[in-house]
Amino acid sequence: MNQDYSSSLEERIISVLKSIYDPEISVDIYELGLIYDVKVFGKNKVKIIMTLTTPNCPVAESLPLEVKEKVQSIQEVKEVDVILTFDPPWCKEFMSEEARLELGLL
User: What's the pLDDT at 1?
Assistant: 46
User: What's the pLDDT at 42?
Assistant: 85
What is the extent of the structural domain holding 48? 3-97
User: What's the pLDDT at 56?
Assistant: 85
pLDDT in tens, 51-103: 998 888 888 889 999 999 999 999 999 999 999 999 999 999 999 999 999 88
User: What's the pLDDT at 5?
Assistant: 60
Residue 31 lies in a domain: yes
How far does the chain reach from its first CA to its final CA, in angstroms? 41
When pLDDT is cut at 50, 70 and 90, the band that residue 7 belongs to is: confident
Q: Domain of 31: which CATH number?
A: 3.30.300.130
The tally of domains found in the chain comes to 1
Residue 103 lies in a domain: no
**E strands of the chain, at which residues?**
35-41, 45-50, 79-84
Residue 37 lies in a domain: yes
Residue 22 lies in a domain: yes
Residue 105 lies in a domain: no
Q: Under a CB-based contact definition with an 8 Å cutoff, are residues 71 and 80 in contact?
A: yes
